[in-house]
Amino acid sequence: MDNSAKISPVIPKRAGVGLKAAHYDRILQDRPDIGWFEVHAENYMGAGGLPHRTLETIRQSYPLSLHGVGLSIGGDKPLDLAHLARLRDLNQRYEPGLFSEHLAWSTHDDFFFNDLLPVPYTQEALTRCSDHIDQVQESLGRQMLLENPSTYVAFAESSMSEIEFLKTLTARTGCGLLLDVNNVFVSATNHDYSPEDYIDAFPIEHVGEIHLGGHARDQDDHGAPLLIDAHDRAVADPVWALYERTIARTGNLPTLIEWDNELPDWQELFAEAQSADAILVRNQTEPDRVAR
Amino acid sequence: MPSWFETRRSLIVSLADLQSGFIAHLRAPAAPPPDSLVASGGTPPNRRFNVYRNNVVASLIEALRASFPVVERLVGEEFFKATARAYIDHEPPKSPLMFLYGETFGAFLDAFPPAASVPYLGDVARLEFARLTAFHAVDKAPITIDHLSRLPQDQLGETEFQLHPSLTLLASRWPLFSLWAASSGEQSGEEVNLDNAEEVIVVRPHYDVDTRRLPGGGDSFIKALAEGLSLGEAAGLATAASEQFDLAQHLNGLFDLGAVTAVDIAHS
């Protein structure tokens, strides 16, 4: 177990970025003025070596958020207890300020499909998700944040809206929410509803973190726009606008720039974080429009 | 509220059935989207469902490319992607830890007919997977050869070795190290003679993974030590395996690599 001194785990209401191995050297050398880092938990589930050594060094100087991508909370099957134990170990070792996972599933019949598959918004799925979230929060001994998904299809079986589904989960489990503003824009475009209405209806009192990322553009069978949550480019302008609308409601929140594919050099990623910070600074100087 | 929220069907389908159906259609590339999805304008959401199919396959192909860069360099990107796709279809990952995926890729390549003209590909894949495993292995400090000289010299033959937990040995019928090195950027310009068999050791004593070609008898010697045989027994097996076996050279090499974490006289 690591006993090295760490700075406070509290994630500041500033911008952070997803930590990538390709940027390790530059970050360790520059020690950039950035609020915090987020890691995909699964990348640090090996026993030892360079990933842990680097993360320990970074954790000494920066707050850290732990973001799981493989727990399959929306899966019908029971959670993988070995995976849950690995999350608990990482949580103890690195003392992250936030822990989050997705409203999605990825495991079925013992196979892991490495994507965030869509959950039908049914009573049965609600029960299963809330049981799984209870189990995670009990095992880790902390609150988790659940992230709203990017979706490309809808289930005929769904009996409630995504927002109703998420709201009910927070009420049943006490979990918080991670509001991915790019996901809102992607899903709203794909299902032809207003992203602004979605943001305005979102239970902001439960939001503990915001994600921003880039999306790709395609078309569906009818030529309608089909956006894909690719995390392979800069944040799009309408997503920045939606972000400003969001924090005008929520007040400033920890905001992550996600860039996982077609990685830019460090300077470009850092510049995205600085853009988010600039919006946060501007927002802070304006009077709160909503009481927190 | 979008209209598709109000689209209700008369039969309630269980979550288990919805997910089984989703996966069955996902894994059948020619199948239409599952019936459980909302159709728009009376047509099935083919392109929408294909986003999930593409995400799954493309992300797993990328995971394999990241883990097997030398295999890709040996066969080219296009062939690698087609091969990876066949492997993913044959054996999807079982763990959310992507660095565990591909343990059987070498065996798959051995038996993959389109790769038959590159018969050493499976061994190269096994070497790359050994390197990946070493990269993530548990940390343990190696010891220097001084520890050996501190033991009673008349009992050295009974010494047992603990080898580094990151260590893997590969005995190939191909010039495995040379093939790997020529395509990994670690070594270049060397003519590879496919008639030479090579034995390779992979170990990560600190933070960098080390990959070396073993001198004659090395595989027998280190394998015997790893199995808990004494230094004398291991040297005997190695001498039987290779006339060139040189104990001093191998001992120095093993310690220099940082492959030894403890030595002790057997108390049995």
* B96–A191 CB contact, under 8 Å: no
B155 interfaces chain A, CB cutoff of 8 Å: no
A47 contact residues in B (CB cutoff 8 A): 136-139
Taking residues B160-183, what's their average pLDDT? Answer: 97
The pLDDT of residue B10 is above 90: no
Q: Could you give the C-alpha distances from A25 to A39, A49, A56, B75, in angstroms and in order? A: 16, 15, 14, 31
A80: tokens are 């993988």
B:163-182 residues touching chain A, CB 8 A cutoff: none
B20 touches chain A (CB under 8 A): yes
Distance CA A38, CA A18 (A): 5
Q: Do B15 and A226 touch (CB under 8 A)?
A: no
For residue B61 the two structure tokens come to: 């192909």
B19 → closest Cβ in A105, A158, A192? A105
Q: From residue A270, how far is each of A32, A36, A122, A259, B62 by CA, in Å?
A: 8, 12, 40, 11, 25
DSSP string covering chain A, please?
A: ---------PPPSSEEEE--GGGHHHHHHH----SEEEEEGGGG-SSSSHHHHHHHHHHHHS-EEEE-SS--TT-SSPP-HHHHHHHHHHHHHH--SEEEEES-EEEETTEEEEEEEPPP--HHHHHHHHHHHHHHHHHHTS--EEEPPP-S--BTT--S-HHHHHHHHHHHH--EEEEEHHHHHHHHHHTT--HHHHHHHS-GGGEEEEEEE--EEEE-TTS-EEEE----SPPPHHHHHHHHHHHHHH-S--EEEE--SSPPPHHHHHHHHHHHHHHHHHHHHSPPSS--
Measure in Å the smallest separation between the Cα of A259 and chain B Cα atoms: 14
pLDDT at res. B67: 98
Q: Is residue A152's pLDDT more than 60?
A: yes
Shortest distance between the Cα of B230 and any Cα of chain A, in A, equals: 29
The answer to whether residue A139 neighbours chain B at the CB level (below 8 Å) is: no
- B88, amino acid identity: I
User: Could you read off the pLDDT of B35-84 as tens digits, one per residue?
Assistant: 999 987 778 899 999 999 999 999 999 999 999 999 999 999 999 999 99
Interface test with B, best of A71, A107, A108 (most B CBs within 10 A): A108
3-state secondary structure of B43: strand
Residue B49 and residue A220: Cβ atoms within 8 Å? Answer: no
> Taking CB atoms and an 8 Å limit, are A155 and B38 in contact across chains?
yes
Q: How far apart are the C-alpha atoms of B182 and B262, rounded to whole Å?
A: 34
| Integer-rounded Cα radius of gyration of chain B | 25
The sign of the CA dihedral A171, A173, A174, A178 is negative
Mean pLDDT of A239-259: 97
Q: Does B112 touch chain A (CB under 8 A)?
A: no
Which of A5-9, A34-38, A140-144, A241-245 shows the lowest per-residue confidence on average (mean pLDDT)? A5-9
Question: pLDDT tens digits for A87-131?
Answer: 999 999 999 999 999 999 999 988 999 999 999 999 999 999 999
Top mean pLDDT of A2-16, A232-246, B174-188 is at A232-246
pLDDT at position A287 is 57
> Given this model, what pLDDT does residue B2 score?
46
Interface membership of A159 toward B (CB under 8 Å): yes
For A170-188, the pLDDT digits (tens) are 999 999 999 999 999 999 9
CA-CA distance, B31 to B21, in Å (whole number)? 11
Number of other residues whose CB lies within 10 A of the CB of residue A188: 19
pLDDT tens digits along B125-165: 999 999 999 999 999 999 999 999 999 999 999 999 999 99
B101: confidence class by pLDDT, cuts 50, 70, 90: very high
Residues of A in contact with B93 (CB under 8 A): 111-112, 114
Q: Which residue has 């790769």 as its token pair?
A: B115
In 3D space, the residue among A125, A165, A131, A202 whose CA is nearest the CA of residue B5 turns out to be: A165
Sequence-separated contacts (24+) of A193-196 with Cβ below 8 Å: A193/B1, A193/B2, A195/A238, A195/A242, A196/A242, A196/A245
pLDDT at B230 > cutoff 50: yes
Please indicate whether, in this complex, the C-beta atoms of A117 and B15 are within 8 angstroms of each other. Answer: no
Contact A42 B40 (CB under 8 A): no
> What Å distances lie between residue A251 and A161, A245, A281, A289, B12, CA to CA?
25, 10, 11, 8, 41
Q: CA B71 to CA B64: how far, in whole Å?
A: 10
Nearest by Cα to B167 from B245, B253, B239: B253
User: Are the beta carbons of A18 and A38 closer than 8 angstroms?
Assistant: yes
The terminus-to-terminus CA distance of chain B in angstroms comes to: 77
Determine the Cα–Cα distance for residues B165 and A271; give it in Å rounded to an integer.
41
B88 burial class (0-12, 13-18, 19+ CB within 10 angstroms)? buried
Distances (CA, A) of A64 to A30, A41, A256, A279, B120: 18, 11, 11, 22, 43
For residue B83, give the nearest of B106, B54, B103 by alpha carbon.
B106
In this complex, is the C-beta atom of A275 within 8 Å of any C-beta atom belonging to chain B?
no
CB contact under 8 A, B137 and A48: yes
ipTM of the assembly? 0.94
Distance in Å, alpha carbon of A238 to nearest chain B alpha carbon? 21
List all residues of chain A from 5 to 34 with a beta carbon under 8 Å from chain B: none
Inter-chain contact A221–B46, Cβ cutoff 8 Å?
A: yes
Under an 8 A CB cutoff, do B52 and A152 touch? yes
- Which residues in A lie closer than 8 A to residue B1 (C-beta atoms)? 161, 193
Distance from the A7 Cα atom to the nearest Cα atom in chain B, whole angstroms: 24
Contact A53, B207 (CB under 8 A): yes
Please tell me which of the candidates B15, B49, B59 has its beta carbon nearest to residue A114: B59
Is the separation of the CB atoms in B179 and B213 below 8 Å? no
Report the C-alpha gap between A165 and A189 in whole angstroms: 20
More confident residue, B9 or B32: B32
Residues of A in contact with B12 (CB under 8 A): 122, 157
* Confidence class for position B1, pLDDT limits 50, 70, 90: very low
CA–CA min distance B244, chain A (Å)? 35
Does A190 contact B at CB distance below 8 Å?
yes
Please, what is the end-to-end C-alpha distance for chain A in angstroms? 38
CA-CA distance, B164 to B225, in Å (whole number)? 11
pLDDT of the residue at B21: 97
CB atoms within 10 A of CB B196: 14
pTM of the model: 0.94
Beta bridge mates, B211: B202
